[in-house]
């Protein structure tokens, strides 16, 4: 038992199948149906969105653990007839193709060798998984569509080893052990060369190389024709960590080997005998769909089905349709159960465990009250000429409801000191304006905290879910830091607890700030232009925070993000690519923007990922219109961040003045 239920964040590759069955949330399975249907499927999402966990369901050892644990397998019964093959490009030495500098001189040849290496990885996985299922329960083998058991699997070796696709490199055999050793030997030869243990690649590899995707297609066909797998049994090849292929280094900048195009070619065959599953981050997929050896590109729906977890889990204003909130609560309860809390304990109160532990998020007014400011009237700032009676009423109100008094100060600045304030609190003019108040209360609360030297409060179930921004890894991280802070505060382990703890909001706030700092600093550890993105985030945060805190009238409470014209982004592809990278890595949320300007021109708006907001003292709740930035401003932020932007060769006349000396 761990001292913190959220101690381990990256669980996909680090936990046992038994633990996977306990903590895996099947909430997303119905929303990712293409993964379990015939045909290629691509699932994208930023780090921690849950794509790798979903793809784990295709693995036989996970499937067998569900069976042996007498736990319902999350895949619908009518979709369970499949054999899964996993090729994790980060763990299989695939990315080590960048270690051989001599490859840079012959990129086309290297792509063909990479295709052959990938083929043998897939065949190696297929043979291992068939053997694993055949040695397991008969009922499971039948459910998967495998019709051989025990030593019968040796018959597969004879059928597979005699295929012409091997170009004579594999010798015919009736032993599955021998066949697997031969396949492993081929992979071992590649790895020795990639790791520079062998100066020269075995010449027979080049003369017997296979075309990408063809060996596993022919193996699947042979297995069906020989009756080893039942009709209608799908063969799924899961290609995980696809984005790593874009990080393989090359000195040949003009014409580097395109490893993603190799995998894309396998998908482009659209052969129903084998279906591919690609798990990747969005930026690695959307920006690259080239097919090796052609000028064609992969097409959605024609070549593959698409599952975008980022879009699926995007926060919805309609609580009933907010998938992530329900997903996060399910994960939270499973983690508590995994840590040793009983099911009865987790569900004892009749609400949900997230609320049991953190409570409901306080309203903005309640948070301001919890600041514990001794002289609340000191948070008010009155313009010269404000009537003494108005000052007296608002100062008195501040002692009862400081947030309302602050909103009153802002109202007077906006509308003028012309209102009768000698009315019950609920009849004050700003209290009657529901939407006006809603749009400003979060910012006003942060202004109060800033002006009084008080730390803003973050906590409660709604805040924890909201700050997660639709990302389950961020959600787990917030919980990890909060529980660590609570355990340090208590100075003991919780193993002896019989009931769920109730963590007070001050501890939650401390944990949230630690998590926020962690995620901001983590930008620099990412791939891509991480240093530029890190500096850009601080430049934009400083700009927005300054505008927000200096806006005494709070005329623009929505300026917690910025918006850019779509047409400008098309004219400046370097800016567009940089902003898309910010979104693809989860640093910003990038959304289409329906402008309220009379010109009705399309815009794109960007907001910080919510978990960054405590670090930058910005509200994560988005209201009103964002700041309308010009492309010139965005370029200046990028230049200040050190980003080298390639401007369009021919600037449109409407943009030339942006860069004129005058």
- For 221-252, how does the pLDDT look when each residue is reduced to its tens digit (9 = 90+)? 999 999 999 999 999 999 988 888 888 877 77
- What rounded mean pLDDT belongs to the chain? 89
In the predicted structure, residue 85 carries a pLDDT above the cut 60: yes
Last residue of a domain, one of 500, 525, 550: 525
In the predicted structure, residue 349 carries a pLDDT above the cut 50: no
Last residue of a domain, one of 401, 431, 451: 451
Cα dihedral sign, 114-116-122-128: negative
Three-class DSSP category at 633: helix
Calculate the CA dihedral of residues 517, 361, 560, 525 and round it to 10 degrees. 20
Element (H, E) at 280: strand 275-280
CA atoms within 13 A on the CB side of 10: 3
- For 462-505, how does the pLDDT look when each residue is reduced to its tens digit (9 = 90+)? 999 999 999 999 999 999 999 999 988 776 555 566 678 899 99
Which has the higher per-residue pLDDT, 598 or 308? 308
Which two tokens mark 352? 């949900």
How many Å apart are CA 306 and CA 304, to the nearest integer? 6
326 with 381, same domain? no
* Residue 19 within a domain: no
- pLDDT for position 344: 54
How many Å apart are CA 213 and CA 117, to the nearest integer? 11
* Residue 26 within a domain: no
Mean pLDDT of 84-101: 86
* Residue 202 within a domain: no
Residue 315 binned pLDDT confidence (cut-offs 50, 70, 90): low
How many Å apart are CA 633 and CA 536, to the nearest integer? 12
Edge to edge, what strands does the sheet with 561-565 contain?
588-593, 603-608, 561-565, 627-628
Domain containing 145 — which CATH number? 3.40.50
Residue 628 binned pLDDT confidence (cut-offs 50, 70, 90): very high
* Residue 22 within a domain: no
284 with 329, same domain? no
Helix-strand-coil split of the chain, %, nearest 5: 55, 10, 35
* Residue 156 within a domain: no
463 with 505, same domain? yes
633 with 516, same domain? no
Q: How far is CA 639 from the centre of its chain?
A: 27
651 with 547, same domain? yes
Which has the higher per-residue pLDDT, 446 or 50? 446
Decide: 149 and 138 in contact? Cβ < 8 Å: yes
- pLDDT for position 247: 80
How many Å apart are CA 392 and CA 403, to the nearest integer? 16
pTM score? 0.86
517 with 609, same domain? no
255 with 137, same domain? yes
- For 249-288, how does the pLDDT look when each residue is reduced to its tens digit (9 = 90+)? 777 777 888 999 999 999 999 999 999 999 888 777 877 8
Please tell me the total count of domains within the chain.
Answer: 4
Residue 1 binned pLDDT confidence (cut-offs 50, 70, 90): very low
Q: Rounded to 5 degrees, what angle do the CA atoms 318, 565, 246 make?
A: 80
561 with 439, same domain? no
Please tell me what DSSP assigns to residue 530: H
Which two tokens mark 515? 């998590």
Decide: 621 and 556 in contact? Cβ < 8 Å: no
433 with 504, same domain? no
* Residue 411 within a domain: yes
230 with 252, same domain? yes
- pLDDT for position 504: 94
Which among 129, 89, 82, 91 has a CA at the least distance from the CA of 262? 89
95 with 223, same domain? yes
Q: Count of residues for the chain?
A: 662
* Residue 297 within a domain: yes
Last residue of a domain, one of 428, 451, 474: 451
* Residue 307 within a domain: yes
Mean pLDDT of 330-334: 90
216 with 90, same domain? yes
Q: Which residues contact 630 (CB under 8 A, 6 or more apart)?
A: 564, 568, 658
Q: What is the 3-state secondary structure (H, E, C) of 92-144?
A: CCHHHHHHCHHHHHCHHHHHHHHHHHHHHHHHHHHHHHHHHHHCCCHHHHHHH
User: Range of 274's domain?
Assistant: 37-109+119-151+212-312
In the predicted structure, residue 166 carries a pLDDT above the cut 50: yes
């Amino acid at each position: 038992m761990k001292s913190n239920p959220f101690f381990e964040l990256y669980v996909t590759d680090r936990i046992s199948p038994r633990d996977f069955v306990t903590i895996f949330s099947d909430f997303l399975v119905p929303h990712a149906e293409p993964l379990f249907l015939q045909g290629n499927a691509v699932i994208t999402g930023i780090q921690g969105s849950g794509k790798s966990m979903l793809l784990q369901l295709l693995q036989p050892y996970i499937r067998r653990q569900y069976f042996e644990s007498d736990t319902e397998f999350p895949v619908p019964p009518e979709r369970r007839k499949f054999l899964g093959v996993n090729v994790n490009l980060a763990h299989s030495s695939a990315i080590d193709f960048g270690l051989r500098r001599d490859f840079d001189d012959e990129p086309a040849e290297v792509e063909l060798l990479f295709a052959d290496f990938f083929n043998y990885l897939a065949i190696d996985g297929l043979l291992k998984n068939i053997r694993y299922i055949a040695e397991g329960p008969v009922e499971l083998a039948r459910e998967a569509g495998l019709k051989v058991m025990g030593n019968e699997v040796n018959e597969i070796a004879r059928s597979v080893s005699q295929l012409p696709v091997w170009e004579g490199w594999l010798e015919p055999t009736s032993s599955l052990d021998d066949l697997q050793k031969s396949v492993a030997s081929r992979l071992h030869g590649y790895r020795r060369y990639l790791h520079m243990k062998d100066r020269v690649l075995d010449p027979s590899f080049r003369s017997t190389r296979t075309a990408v995707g063809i060996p596993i297609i022919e193996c699947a066909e042979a297995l069906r024709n020989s009756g080893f797998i039942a009709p209608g049994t799908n063969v799924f090849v899961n290609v995980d960590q696809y984005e790593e292929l874009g990080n393989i280094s090359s000195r040949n900048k003009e014409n580097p080997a395109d490893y993603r195009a190799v995998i894309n070619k396998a998908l482009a065959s659209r052969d129903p005998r084998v279906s591919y599953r690609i798990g990747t981050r969005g930026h690695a997929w959307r920006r690259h769909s080239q097919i090796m050896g052609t000028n064609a590109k992969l097409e959605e729906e024609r070549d593959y089905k698409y599952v975008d977890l980022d879009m699926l889990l995007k926060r919805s204003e309609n609580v009933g349709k907010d998938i992530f909130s329900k997903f996060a609560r399910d994960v939270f309860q499973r983690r508590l159960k995994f840590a040793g809390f009983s099911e009865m304990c987790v569900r004892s109160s009749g609400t949900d465990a997230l609320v049991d532990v953190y409570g409901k998020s306080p309203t903005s007014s309640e948070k301001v009250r919890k600041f514990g400011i001794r002289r609340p009237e000191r948070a008010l700032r009155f313009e010269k000429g404000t009537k003494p009676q108005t000052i007296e009423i608002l100062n008195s109100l501040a002692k009862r409801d400081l947030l309302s008094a602050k909103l009153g100060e802002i109202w007077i600045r906006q509308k003028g000191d012309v209102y009768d304030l000698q009315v019950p609190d609920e009849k004050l003019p700003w209290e009657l304006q529901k939407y006006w108040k809603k749009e400003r209360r979060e910012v006003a609360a942060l202004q109060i905290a800033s002006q009084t030297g008080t730390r803003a409060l973050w906590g409660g179930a709604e805040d924890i879910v909201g700050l997660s921004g639709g990302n389950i890894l961020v959600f787990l991280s917030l919980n990890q830091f909060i529980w660590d802070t609570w355990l340090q505060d208590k100075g003991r382990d919780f193993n002896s607890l019989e009931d769920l703890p109730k963590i007070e909001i001050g501890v939650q706030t401390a944990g949230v700030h630690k998590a926020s700092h962690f995620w901001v600093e983590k930008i620099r550890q990412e791939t891509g232009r991480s240093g530029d993105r890190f500096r850009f985030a601080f430049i934009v945060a400083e700009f927005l925070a300054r505008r927000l805190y200096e806006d005494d009238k709070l005329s623009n409470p929505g300026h917690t993000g910025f918006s850019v014209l779509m047409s400008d982004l098309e004219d400046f592809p370097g800016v567009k690519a940089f902003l898309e990278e910010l979104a693809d890595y989860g640093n910003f949320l990038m959304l289409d923007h329906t402008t309220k300007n009379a010109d009705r021109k399309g815009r794109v708006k960007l907001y910080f990922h919510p978990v960054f907001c405590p670090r930058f003292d910005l509200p994560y709740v988005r209201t009103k219109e964002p700041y309308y930035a010009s492309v010139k401003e965005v370029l200046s932020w990028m230049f200040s961040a050190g980003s080298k932007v390639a401007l369009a060769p021919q600037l449109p006349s409407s943009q030339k003045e942006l860069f004129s000396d005058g």
